Amino acid sequence: MKANQKTQLRVGLFVTVALGITATLAFVVGAQQNLFTRKTEFVAIFDTVDGLRPGSVVTVAGVNVGSVSSVEFAEDGRIEVRFDVINDAAALIRGRRVGTEGEFEAGSSVVSIGSKGMLGDKLMQITVGRRTLPTWDPAEPLPASTSGDLMALAGSAMTEVQGTAENLRLATDPFRDQAFSHDVTRIAANLARVTDMLANGDGAIQHLMTDEGTAAEIDATLGNLRATSDEFARTARSLRRVAEEVERGDGSAHALIYGDEGREAMVNIGRATGEVATLLEDVRTNDGTVHGFLYGDTGQELLANLTRASDDLASITADVRAGRGTIGGLLQDPSIYEDVKRLVGDLERNEILRALVRYSVRRDEARRPVRATPLESEYEFTGDPPPADSAAPAAAGGGEAAP
């Protein structure tokens, strides 16, 4: 009896421990698989999944947030992968489609297939979408990429390395030709000679590189160019200000450009141009005076007369310069000048002419009526002053002097 009780006790303890271990494992596995959390199912379509299978881990920004539920072929031969993501992480999956060609807005979440290591199991990686974008619609397939797969990255890197090696091979193949190698050698030698001349020569480039005076001249030239560009900039600003003032102002320029005056002026100019064209057409086609002058014999006769007149004028000018004729003698003969000068001097010394000149000047001046005595009238013609005792006859006559 006691043996049976011990056996039952051992069985009970074993069952209890087993149930505890099972419950613990269930909670641990459930926590890893998020069995006790609400989830949202998403879908992504890949060309290849590289060993991804149901139960593979799904991560968002490197955090386990769900697992793959199914991996199936679609109707077009591509692979449709469905996976569950807990609701807290599903809010981080954002983005939207912007076209019918599979284009998505920048910053949308992207699904890729990665691995836990170089030889580890496959997993799905999801990037966090931009916060300004809406939460992803689970009915829409997420944008898929294979960039997260280490093996794919390694394969891409190997492809790039192979391409680089091929380019290096193509670049070095010409050096197998001896003639090409000799050409390269000569080019290198010439370059060395040129650089030596630049360093030790006395040419313009060497002066440009080593002469301080040349450098100063170049600096001065650059300064002048800078000053010229500044002047152009100031001129452009001034012109811009003038244009703005013309556009905003009420002056003649504004009225001419933006008002009716400019339109009227252009109409008048067009009308005047038309009239000038009509006038020229009339001159060309009609038989008037201007037409005869331009197209007939009248103009030729006038030009001939002008030519003869200019010839006569040149002949007269030559005679005057040679001293021939009255004008030529007056201009070229100094004796005539001396005779005229002497004649003028004789006229200045003639008392009668001087008296006549003084008389004319005195008559033209404004003067008061004066009662002249006979003695004064005698000296009035000559202009000489009367003697001091000229008042005596007037006193003898019994008259009184005028006040």
**pLDDT tens across 143-161, in order?**
887 655 555 566 667 778 8
- Overall average pLDDT of the 84-110 stretch: 83
For the cut 70, the answer to whether the pLDDT of residue 40 exceeds it is: yes
Predicted pLDDT at 207: 66
SS3 for 356? Answer: helix
Please indicate whether residue 284 or residue 54 has the higher confidence score (pLDDT): 54
Which residue, among 231, 200, 202, has the nearest Cα to 214 in the 3D structure?
Answer: 202
Six-digit token pair at 98? Answer: 């912007």
For the cut 50, the answer to whether the pLDDT of residue 381 exceeds it is: no
- Overall average pLDDT of the 338-360 stretch: 75
Q: What is the pTM of this model?
A: 0.34
φ, ψ for residue 202 (rounded to 5)?
A: -130, 30
Predicted pLDDT at 235: 92
φ, ψ for residue 248 (rounded to 5)?
A: -90, -25
Predicted pLDDT at 392: 41
CA torsion 126-128-134-136 (nearest 10°) is 10
Element (H, E) at 256: helix 252-258
First-to-final CA distance of the chain: 196
For the cut 50, the answer to whether the pLDDT of residue 335 exceeds it is: yes
Predicted pLDDT at 348: 67
- Overall average pLDDT of the 104-112 stretch: 86
- Overall average pLDDT of the 156-185 stretch: 77
For the cut 70, the answer to whether the pLDDT of residue 2 exceeds it is: no
Q: Where residue 394 falls among pLDDT bands split at 50, 70, 90?
A: very low
Q: Where residue 403 falls among pLDDT bands split at 50, 70, 90?
A: very low
For the cut 70, the answer to whether the pLDDT of residue 60 exceeds it is: yes
For the cut 70, the answer to whether the pLDDT of residue 97 exceeds it is: yes
Which residue, among 111, 119, 121, 133, has the nearest Cα to 59 in the 3D structure?
Answer: 111
Share of the chain above pLDDT 90, in %: 1
Laid out side by side, the sheet with 39-46 consists of 39-46, 79-86, 63-73, 57-60, 122-126, 111-115, 144-145
Q: Where residue 89 falls among pLDDT bands split at 50, 70, 90?
A: confident
For the cut 80, the answer to whether the pLDDT of residue 378 exceeds it is: no
| Distance of alpha carbon 300 from alpha carbon 294, whole angstroms | 9
Domain spans, the chain? 1-33, 39-158
Q: Where residue 304 falls among pLDDT bands split at 50, 70, 90?
A: confident
Please indicate whether residue 297 or residue 47 has the higher confidence score (pLDDT): 47
- The amino acid present at 209, given as its one-letter code, is M
C-alpha distance from residue 240 to each of 226, 235, 236, 245 (Å) = 21, 8, 6, 9
CA torsion 147-150-156-160 (nearest 10°) is 120
For the cut 70, the answer to whether the pLDDT of residue 251 exceeds it is: yes
Predicted pLDDT at 221: 87
Strands 122-126 and 39-46: unpaired
User: Is the backbone of residue 334 left (phi > 0), alpha (psi -120 to 50) or beta?
Assistant: alpha
Assess contact for 279 and 273: CB atoms under 8 A: no
| Distance of alpha carbon 152 from alpha carbon 3, whole angstroms | 66
Among the residue ranges 42-46, 51-55, 219-223, 355-359, the one predicted with the least confidence is 355-359
| Distance of alpha carbon 182 from alpha carbon 194, whole angstroms | 18
For the cut 70, the answer to whether the pLDDT of residue 382 exceeds it is: no
Please indicate whether residue 222 or residue 213 has the higher confidence score (pLDDT): 222
pLDDT tens per residue across span 180-218: 778 888 888 888 887 777 777 666 666 666 677 777 888
Q: Please provide the average confidence, as pLDDT, over all residues in the chain.
A: 76
Max mean pLDDT among 3-12, 88-97, 292-301 falls in 88-97
For the cut 70, the answer to whether the pLDDT of residue 357 exceeds it is: yes
Among the residue ranges 92-106, 122-136, 228-242, the one predicted with the least confidence is 92-106
| Distance of alpha carbon 284 from alpha carbon 378, whole angstroms | 81
Assess contact for 41 and 138: CB atoms under 8 A: yes
Predicted pLDDT at 292: 72
- The amino acid present at 303, given as its one-letter code, is L
For the cut 70, the answer to whether the pLDDT of residue 7 exceeds it is: yes
C-alpha distance from residue 236 to each of 3, 241, 243, 259 (Å) = 116, 9, 10, 25
For the packed helices 334-349 and 351-364, what is the interaxial angle rounded to 10 degrees? 70
For the cut 80, the answer to whether the pLDDT of residue 171 exceeds it is: no
Predicted pLDDT at 118: 60
